[in-house]
Amino acid sequence: MKKDAITTDPGYFSRYINLVPDVDLAEALEASLEAVLALDGAALEEKGSYAYAPGKWTVKDLFQHIIDTERVFTYRALMFARNDKQTIPGMDQDLFADNAETGHRTVKDLLDELISLRKATIALFYSFTPAALMRTGICWKWEMSVLGVGFIIAGHQIHHLNILREKYQL
């Protein structure tokens, strides 16, 4: 299903959906995997502990954030797909980042984890029927569909890879 099939407005998260072309969700997620595979690991490793300004995340923190956020969003998608109507709380991305302790990890470790996670995410979304993709739930204060969550995941990565290019010159 394409993103124009999304019938709910997930508020704040629309900014990520808007970064993704109007392609099939499977194509968007596969393209996001290809984007990770195409990254220059050596250049990223060289700047792994670099933050472009005081108080900003390092390159390693940024990749850990993408990973953590994807895990949270896949949980949300699964809850909605299974028609669980509990309101799911938001996440405090800064709290997550402050406690991620990425200093002991290499960028390669983080990229390997992201690649494995993205493959699992793709498998999860392939498992959903068209009806499941259209189911909705409430996350924090926004209603979103399973389909919308898939596009949020793809767009969230696009957003952060854009930051990586613009602010980190990578």
Question: Domain residues of the chain, as ranges?
Answer: 3-47+57-168
For residues 61-86, give the mean pLDDT. 98
For residues 37-48, give the mean pLDDT. 97
Whether domain 3-47+57-168 has CATH 1.20.120.450: yes
- pLDDT at site 26: 98
Pair 114, 67: CB distance under 8 Å? yes
- pLDDT at site 56: 96
Other residues' Cβ atoms within 10 Å of the Cβ of residue 134: 19
For residues 44-63, give the mean pLDDT. 97
Tokens 């898939």 correspond to 150
| Mean pLDDT, all residues of the chain | 97
Q: Is residue 164 very low, low, confident or very high in pLDDT (cuts 50, 70, 90)?
A: very high
Q: pLDDT for 108-134, tens place per residue?
A: 999 999 999 999 999 999 999 999 999
- pLDDT at site 59: 98
Whole-number percent of the chain with pLDDT over 70: 100
Residue 98 CB contacts under 8 Å (≥ 6 apart), including other chains: none
- pLDDT at site 64: 99
- pLDDT at site 82: 99
pLDDT: which is higher, 129 or 170:
129
